[in-house]
């Protein structure tokens, strides 16, 4: 069974960088058939896909247009985990952040537990 | 304003059938991209209910069914049960945005 365990701070100051990590068990970040995503949820934006990283003979990253200038998704194969960095955050980035696996059917079939991140001074 | 449009709420009595619509456009559902449906119970992460328009993962009751036509998709829930009370979201790919998009969500109330 795949399990995704999120970690990271719940409070970030405006203009700083939001950083979260998602540790994978039961699968590999280097899987040729999965993609590893970050999604956030807020009352104002609903569910919003942020981006993903995946391996298909080489590494790829795809990012949502809305955050493309501020986001980086990295992977650490030695720790079997992937991470989210979102720069220059504002209160509008306050949300519940999820990591999720995109499986062979392109649906998000496994999700992390969610991390509530508040952007406030 | 979500790219995929869902009704904010639907309701039904136990045992009844309800449908939730998901309306898109020619750059997502209408372009032939698959639609997936998720159920989110309070305080939990979304759970995939239907993938690839009409397929149920193992463990999802056959009371749940999905369909797609043109630029829209629908989730039907028959034999409503109290435990079905949750938020439901549709998801697809949008070629104009080059990424995954979600509907705004529909809150199902079992009367």
Q: Which residues of A touch B2 (CB under 8 A)?
A: 46
What is the band of B5 on the pLDDT scale with cuts at 50, 70, 90? very high
Q: Could you say which of B52, B89, B99 has the minimum Cβ distance to residue A65?
A: B99
pLDDT at B1: 82
Nearest to B70 by CA among B101, B100, B42, B29: B29
Q: A112 to chain B: nearest residue by CA?
A: B45
On average, the pLDDT of chain B sits at 97
pLDDT in tens, A65-121: 999 999 999 999 999 999 999 999 999 999 999 999 999 899 999 999 999 999 999
Residues 6+ apart with CB under 8 A from A68: none
State mean pLDDT over A44-50: 95
Contact list in B for residue A101 (CB cut-off 8 A) is none
Q: Mean pLDDT throughout B71-85?
A: 97
Q: Write the pLDDT tens digit of every residue in B87-98.
A: 999 999 999 999
User: Which residue numbers of A have CB closer than 8 Å to B's CBs?
Assistant: 37, 46-49, 51, 62-65, 98, 100, 105-109, 111-114
Which of A52, A46, A98, A102 shows the shortest CA–CA distance to B45? A98
CB pairs under 8 A between A and B: 58
User: In terms of CA atoms, which chain B residue is nearest residue A49?
Assistant: B100
Region B43-60: what's the mean pLDDT?
A: 96
- Give percent above pLDDT 90 in chain B: 98
Q: Is the pLDDT of residue A48 over 90?
A: yes
pLDDT tens readout for residues A10-38: 999 999 999 999 999 999 999 999 999 99
């Amino acid at each position: 069974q795949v399990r995704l365990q999120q970690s990271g701070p719940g409070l970030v100051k405006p203009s700083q960088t939001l950083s979260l990590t998602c540790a994978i068990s039961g699968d590999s970040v280097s899987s040729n058939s999965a993609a590893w995503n970050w999604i956030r949820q807020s009352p104002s934006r609903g569910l919003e896909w942020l981006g993903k990283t995946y391996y298909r003979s080489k590494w790829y990253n795809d990012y949502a247009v809305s955050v493309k200038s501020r986001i980086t998704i990295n992977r650490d194969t030695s720790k079997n985990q992937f991470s989210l960095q979102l720069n220059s955050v504002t209160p509008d980035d306050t949300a519940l952040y999820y990591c999720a696996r995109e499986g062979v059917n392109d649906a998000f079939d496994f999700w992390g537990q969610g991390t509530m991140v508040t952007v406030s001074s | 304003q979500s790219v995929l449009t869902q009704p904010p709420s639907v309701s039904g009595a136990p045992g009844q059938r309800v449908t939730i619509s998901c309306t898109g456009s020619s750059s997502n559902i209408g372009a032939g991209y698959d639609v997936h449906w998720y159920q989110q119970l309070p305080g939990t992460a979304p759970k995939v209910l239907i993938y690839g328009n009409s397929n149920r993962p193992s463990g999802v009751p056959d009371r749940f069914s999905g369909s797609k036509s043109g630029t829209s998709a629908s989730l039907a829930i028959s034999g409503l049960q109290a435990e079905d009370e949750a938020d439901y979201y549709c998801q697809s790919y949008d070629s104009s945005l080059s990424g995954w998009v979600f509907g705004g969500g529909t809150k199902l109330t079992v009367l």
